[in-house]
Amino acid sequence: MKRLYTHAFLLTAFAAVCLSGCSKILDENPRAIFTPDYFKTEAGVKGGITSLYGHLRLMYGNGYFLNANEISTDEATWGQNSDGNVKNLDFSGVGDIDPSTSNTGVLWGAAFPAINTASGVIENGAAVGVADALIAEARFFRAFDYFLLVQTFGGVPLDLGAGELKFNTSTIRTSKRNTVPEVYTKAIFPDLLTATQQLPDAGRVTGGVTKTAARLYLAKAYLTYGWWLQNPNNIPTYPEAARTDPDGHDAAWYFQQAYNTATDGIQNAGTNFGLQATFYDVNVATNDRNNELLLYADHTQSSSIYNGGDLNYSSGGFGTDNFAQWFEQWNYTNIKSSSSGSSWNAVNSVQRAAVQSLGRPWTMLAPPHGIFKNTFADKDNDSRFDGTFVTSYRSNWVEAGLKVNNAIPQHLYNANFLPVSNGDAILTFLKNDVGGVDYSNTRFNSTVGAGVLPGRADFVIEPSAISRICYPGNWKLGPYRTDNNGGLGAPNGSITRPFPVAKFSELFFIAAEAAVKGAATKAVTGTYANDGTARGLINIIRARAGKWRWDNGGNIAKTQDNSAAMIAATPANIDINYILAERSREYYGEGYRWLDLVRTQKWIELSSSFEIAGKTNPNDWQDHTVGTFSRTITAQYYLRPIPQSQLDGMDMSADEKKAYQNPAYQ
C-alpha cells in the first residue's frame, strides 16, 4: 500500500528528538525523515514519540477534518462559501460524497503513518532503554488512531506489511482489512489497557498523555464497541462480520466496563485534572491548556515552524495549520456603519482581528435553526450558548486605524443613526425572536441583511433570520495572540492556540450514556460526588453550566449561579437523545458530532431534516425566508469511503480494489 506506508517516516515539520525527563514541554527539532535505523537509538525512539503528538495537528485544527465530523449533522450544514470539498458531505442534494474530494482521507493519511511510528517505538523502545511509561505513550496513540479509523471506516488493516501490529520498513502495495471486532480486541483494547496501567498520573511533559486520558479513551472505546455489538438499528458493517465478540462478552458487559472505567477516571484524577469553575473558563483563550483538557494539538506564536503554520498569512489546506475556526466564522467584515449621523456614508466598522471573537471568515459551515431554538433553547440560565457563540460583533475602527477626514473618529453612526463608540456592539444576534424587527430599512443599512429595532444602536438578527451567509461564529475556537500591539494583529495567520482533542468533562457523559444503556450504577465519591445515575452524572455538568463569571454577548463581568435552576430542569428520566443534546451544548462545533451520532445510530433520526434562512447570493443578504431542507442518509453511509488515493496506490485488481472499498462507494 504505497500511499499508506511510504509516508511512514515522512513526518516533516514536527518530527522531534531529545525529550529529557525534566523537560516540561516537547523539545521539537524538525527532522526530514525517520529511517528504520533511527528507531534503534534512544533519541530516535523519543523523537518518534514526540512526532505522535505532532501528528494530531494533521487532524485537529484542520478545517476539512472538522468539516467531515460536523457537516450533515444537526450541528452544521454548508455555508455561503462552501465548495464541493465541503458540500459533498452534506447529503442535502448539493453534491455526492466522493472518495477523491470529500476530505474523509485526512484521517486515513494522518493515522496510518503515526500507527507505524508507534509500532516502531513499541518494538524498539525497551531495547534502547526507554521506560515503559514512555512506550505506553506510543501505545496510547496507536490505539487512539485505530479507534478513530474503526469508527469512521469500519474494519481497517492491522498488518501494514510486516505482520499484525508490527513496524513496517518497506513499501507494500497490497492490503487486507481486518474486521471491526479484530481491530478492537487485538489493537485498541490491549494498547489502552496497557496505557492505563503504565502511563503516569501527571503528564511527563506539558500536554503529555496520562492515565486519565487513557481511561477516557478506553471507556469511550468500550462504549462504542458495545453499541456496535448491540446494533439497535441494523446498521451494516464492513468487512462483513458477525456481531459477536471474540472474547465472548456481550454488549452489556462492554457498557458496564465503560461505566466502571469512566467513573474510575472521575474519582482518580487527583489534582491533575478536573472541571473548570465555569464553561467560559474551559474555552477562554487566556486560560488555554487548563486542567480540563486531557489532550490537545498544540501550537505556538513563537515560531511558524513549531506552530505548524505561517504566523502572518496562511492559506489553510491539508497540513498542520490550525484553521478550523475559519470554517465556522461568517464574513462579518461586510458589516457597515456610517461616518455621518444624517446621511449613510458607509464604513467598515468591524474588521478582521486576531482576537477570539473574530479571526478569519471562511463561511463554510453554518448552524441550522434547531441549534438556537432547540439545542440552546435556554440562553439565560445555561451559560453555554453565551460561551459558545459570538453573538455580538463589536467595532474596532481605532485598532484598524480607520480615518474619516484624516482623523480617527470618536464616534460612528449605526442603526437609527445612533452614535457608537469603538468597542460597542454593531450587530447582535438576539437570543430569541422578538417581532417588530425592520429588515427592510434602506436609510441606515448594515449591508448584511440585519434588522433594526427602535431605540437600539446595534443592528439585530433574530434566530429565525440566521442564514447560510450570516450566523454567530464559534467563539470557543477563535484566535488569540499576545502580539497584536494595540492593532488588529495577524488575523490571516495560522491560529496559534491549542486545539482541544479530549476533555475531562467527557468522562461524565460516557458514564451517563453507559448507565442509560443498562450499566449498573454506583455512587461516585470525591470532588464530583453524585449518586452515579445518568441524571446525577449529567447534573454535575449542568450545574457547572449554570455558573457565570463573564457575559460574552454583553462584554461584561457577570457573577451568577443558576446551578439550582439547571439541575431542576433536568428530566427525571435521561435517555440517549437527551445525552446527545447535552453533548451538543457542551462540545458544539468541536468535531464530536458525527462520531456521536454514528456511535448511537441516531444520525438519520436527528439530522435528516433542518431549517435555515436565506439565499447564498451576496446580493440577497436581506432574504430571511426560512427553508426546510431534507437529507438523504442511508445506513450504508455510516461508514466513510476509503480515500481514492489509497486505492490508486495499491497493486491490486479492479475487483480487489472494489471489494476493499466500503459498499456505499463501490
pLDDT tens by residue, 444-500? 999 999 999 999 999 999 999 999 999 999 999 999 999 999 999 999 999 999 999
- Secondary structure class of 411 (helix, strand, coil): strand
Q: What is the pLDDT of residue 311?
A: 96
Which residues, 6 or more positions from 657, have their beta carbon under 8 angstroms from its beta carbon? Answer: 647, 650
Beta-carbon count within 10 A of 406 CB:
5
The answer, yes or no, to whether the previous bond of 479 is cis (omega within 30 of 0) is no
Which residues in 68-101 are b (16+ Cβ under 10 Å) and which e? bbbbbbbbbbbbbbbeebbbbbbbbeebebbbeb
Q: How far apart are CA 46 and CA 226, in angstroms?
A: 35
| φ/ψ (deg, to 5) at 273 | -140, 155
> What is the percentage of the chain residues whose pLDDT exceeds 70?
94
Q: How many CA atoms lie within 13 A of 204 on its CB side?
A: 21
- Compute and round to an integer the Cα radius of gyration of the chain: 25
List the grid coordinates of 307: 506552530
List the grid coordinates of 124: 524498539
- List, for residues 293-325, the tens digit of each pLDDT value: 999 999 999 999 999 999 999 987 768 999 999
pLDDT at position 13 over 50: no
CA distances from 257 to 193, 216, 254, 262, 544 (A): 12, 12, 5, 8, 26
Task: Tell me the H-state helices in 358-502.
Answer: 369-370, 397-400
Q: What is the pLDDT of residue 31?
A: 43
The overall average pLDDT reported for the chain is 93
Beta-carbon count within 10 A of 506 CB:
22
**pLDDT band, residue 17 (cuts 50/70/90):** very low
pLDDT at position 393 over 80: yes
Q: What is the pLDDT of residue 316?
A: 79
- List, for residues 197-243, the tens digit of each pLDDT value: 999 999 999 999 999 999 999 999 999 999 999 999 999 999 999 99
Higher pLDDT, 241 or 21: 241
Q: How far apart are CA 274 and CA 617, in angstroms?
A: 46
Using the structure block, give the residue that is written with the C-alpha cell 444576534: 429
The listed range with the strongest mean pLDDT (101-115, 359-373, 436-450) is: 359-373
Mean pLDDT for 401-421 is: 97
Question: What angle (nearest 5°) sits at the alpha carbon of residue 448, between those of residues 444 and 452?
Answer: 45
Eight-class DSSP state of 78: E
Is-contact 276 294, C-beta < 8 A?
Answer: no
pLDDT at position 18 over 50: no
pLDDT at position 194 over 70: yes
Q: What is the pLDDT of residue 5?
A: 35
Q: How far apart are CA 309 and CA 492, in angstroms?
A: 11
Mean pLDDT for 369-393 is: 98
**The one-letter amino acid at 523:** A
pLDDT at position 29 over 70: no
List the grid coordinates of 349: 466598522
Is-contact 325 62, C-beta < 8 A?
Answer: no
Beta-carbon count within 10 A of 554 CB:
13
pLDDT at position 69 over 70: yes
- Say if residue 247 is exposed, middle or buried (CB neighbours under 10 Å; 0-12, 13-18, 19+): exposed
Pairing relationship of beta strands 547-551 and 556-561 according to DSSP bridges:
antiparallel
Report the DSSP beta bridge partners of residue 346.
338
Q: What is the pLDDT of residue 260?
A: 98
pLDDT at position 170 over 90: no
Is-contact 28 50, C-beta < 8 A?
Answer: yes
- List, for residues 139-164, the tens digit of each pLDDT value: 999 999 999 999 999 999 999 999 99
Q: What is the pLDDT of residue 619?
A: 63
Mean pLDDT for 605-625 is: 84
Q: What is the pLDDT of residue 616?
A: 65
- Secondary structure class of 55 (helix, strand, coil): helix
Mean pLDDT for 419-438 is: 97
- Helix 211-230 to helix 189-198 angle (10° resolution) is 160
E-state strands within 309-367: 336-338, 346-348, 365-366
Beta-carbon count within 10 A of 523 CB:
11
> What is the percentage of the chain residues whose pLDDT exceeds 90?
89
Range list for CATH 1.25.40.390 in the chain: 2-209+640-665
pLDDT at position 511 over 50: yes
List the grid coordinates of 477: 475556537
Pairing relationship of beta strands 459-461 and 425-429 according to DSSP bridges:
parallel
CATH of 2-209+640-665, one of 1.10.3720.10, 3.40.50.970, 1.25.40.390, 3.30.930.10: 1.25.40.390
Which pTM value belongs to this model? Answer: 0.95
The answer, yes or no, to whether the previous bond of 472 is cis (omega within 30 of 0) is no
Eight-class DSSP state of 498: P
- Residue among 664, 637, 661 at smallest CA distance from 91: 637
Eight-class DSSP state of 517: T
Q: How far apart are CA 294 and CA 410, in angstroms?
A: 45
List the grid coordinates of 192: 489502552
